[in-house]
Amino acid sequence: IINMIINMLKQWYQRRVRGSFKNHEMDPFLLKKIPKDTVSRLEEFALYLRENKKERRSYVSVVKTVNVFRDLICTADWVTARELIKIIKCYCKYLPLSQSNETDVSNVVRRILKIIREENAGPEATNLADGISAFFKSDMKPSNLGRSDLQDNILNSIVELLVELDTSKSNIINMALEHIHSNERILTYGHSNTIRDFLLHGRRARDFEVIVCESGPSLQGHRMAAELSAGGIKTTVIADSAAFAIIHAVNKVIIGTHTIMADGALRAANGVHQLAMAAKYFSVPVIVCAALYKLSPTHLCSYDPDAFNKVIGPENMLNFSNAKLHSKVL
Amino acid sequence: KQWYQRRVRGHSQTHSSCFQNIYLAGKSITEKAVNRIVNGDTILIFKKSQLILHILLEAKAQNKEFKVVVVDSRPDLSGVSSCERLTAAGIPCSYVYINSSTYIMKKVTKVMLAADALLANGYVLGPVGTAMMGLIANTYNKPVIVCCETYKFCERVQTDSILYNELADPDSMLKTLNAEESPVAGWRESPNTRLVNLVYDTTPPALVSIVITEIAELPCSSAPVVLRRGAVKM
């Protein structure tokens, strides 16, 4: 009993000191519904997102997300779709999804929630003509399916989702020949796996040149150029500042992006905006290749780093060894 | 008589046309440009230019309160030494790469650029990246001030940056700050890879608001007028 009292006091104290449990521990409601080994996998995934490596591939995190949620659906304790959605939303509060660059993960979670609602609505699935609110309320109706049937349907749809994600890149790549013509000069920016494979696929049938902007300070463009020239494409590397100088001599600009916002705007690597401006000035077409999971229903609310951008340490720009300057410059 | 005068007076510097055209021109431009800097300005400059730095230091000496954003680009990164000079004089300074210029342009009030030449059709020849600055400033409706002495006015006509340009050392593009090797370090062996390090680029006159020269403050299209007047003759 004394131990119990001490534990309770400890928890109360920690909660007071650390603030809301949302930041560090899972909601006790959630912990009740999920078996222990799943909890450790869920925590691992949250840690993976929190680590936030800047070179993390969208596709890898999206597939990981689907697998984690599939795990959650199978092992959690739920009977109706409504309970399941509540569990998922509770878990999402624990994930660092409010960070602006987690749009790929958020989009996939939205897809999964949509799958659950659709399966729950059953054969007379609400179409959007009834209104979006009717669709979102559809999980309130208890469906005739029991948990195991509903779960089977949901898991089947999730497998279809995984297949769609798997083939999304190859579907884009297969369109390469429609957009690349012989003896063209194509400008691209930095590094993108989709664009690299797009161009390499085009190389199989056409002969063209690629100009890559090196995208300082990370110099991802150098990596792209090395991969493209290894694949047999004549590549030229230029500095980002030379983009305006060279763009009038280019036939088209093909870029990848991180997210496509609801109004058609792009959240892409840092210098892409100025590249697009230069292309517009000279009326050079800009083609963006991105998979469906990058389409996000969010709008741009502000340019501040907190809401929209990510600011990383300046050691790539100004060496810390130049400390005298470092301390004075913003 | 001339020989005698030259012996007595020394080879007087102040009467030499070289002195007038180069040194005094710089001073005159500085005076005009400093008048355009007001308290509370945030001025964007691109890389390093003696003339622009001189203008900013002079404005600071006249106790004007302003901030500077230094936009720098690879591979030569000369903006670092600009920053050093400005912070040594006590001017608050920000340092960004050219990629972030669209982000920072909203907070800037004026853009001051230096030119290497002003062509007869009004195009401004400057270090590569100047045109990009002009374009972005124009999109965000910021005034672009180009400072250029009249000896830089040129009779050549050029509509794009590639017609005439220079290539600097391509290996300097491989330099990275954290001393990792670039993936294209072996570019000379690979038949498919080329590194192109352009030195200049041309800014169309539509993107420039005003050109400050020592004879007057002109629009870009007045370049042929200045050339015709023969003000360039040394």
Q: What is the pLDDT of residue B233?
A: 52
pLDDT per residue over A198-245, tens digit each? 999 999 999 999 999 988 777 889 999 999 999 999 999 999 999 999
d(CA A318, CA A300): 30
pLDDT per residue over B177-225, tens digit each? 666 777 888 888 888 899 999 999 999 999 999 999 988 899 988 888 8
pLDDT per residue over B91-123, tens digit each? 999 888 898 888 889 889 999 999 999 999 999
| Residue that wins the pLDDT comparison between B81 and A22 | B81
B226 close to B153: Cβ distance less than 8 angstroms: yes
Q: What is the pLDDT of residue A21?
A: 42
**What is the value of ipTM here, to two decimals?**
0.85
Q: Residue A132 above 70 pLDDT?
A: no
**Residue A20: band (very low, low, confident or very high) from pLDDT cuts 50, 70, 90:** very low
Q: How far is CA A90 from the centre of its chain?
A: 20
pLDDT per residue over A105-117, tens digit each? 888 888 888 888 8
Instruction: Assess A157–B contact: CB distance below 8 Å, yes or no.
Output: no
Chain-chain contact of A315 with B106 (C-beta, under 8 angstroms): no
pLDDT per residue over A251-296, tens digit each? 999 999 888 888 888 888 888 888 999 999 999 999 999 888 888 8
Residues of A in contact with B194 (CB under 8 A): 234-237
Q: Residue B3 above 90 pLDDT?
A: no
Closest partner CB to B87 (pick from A233, A234, A325): A325
Closest partner CB to B95 (pick from A215, A316, A329): A329
Helix (H), strand (E) counts: chain B: 8, 11
- Report the candidate in A225, A245, A244 with the shortest Cα–Cα distance to residue A235: A225
pLDDT per residue over A27-55, tens digit each? 777 777 777 777 878 878 877 777 766 56
Q: What is the pTM of this model?
A: 0.81
Section B142-147 average pLDDT: 95
Q: Residue A61 above 80 pLDDT?
A: yes
Closest partner CB to B162 (pick from A219, A228, A245): A245
- In chain B, the N- to C-terminal Cα span, in Å, equals 24
Q: Is A162 helix (H, G, I), strand (E, B) or coil?
A: helix
Mean pLDDT, rounded, of chain A: 80
A269 class by beta-carbon count within 10 Å (0-12 exposed, 13-18 middle, 19+ buried): buried
- Report the candidate in B213, B204, B228, B215 with the shortest Cα–Cα distance to residue B152: B213
Residues of B in contact with A244 (CB under 8 A): 129, 131-132, 135, 161, 201
Q: Residue B11 above 70 pLDDT?
A: no
Instruction: Assess A249–B contact: CB distance below 8 Å, yes or no.
Output: yes
d(CA A107, CA A103): 6
d(CA A298, CA A103): 9
Q: What is the pLDDT of residue B41?
A: 92
A68 close to A109: Cβ distance less than 8 angstroms: no
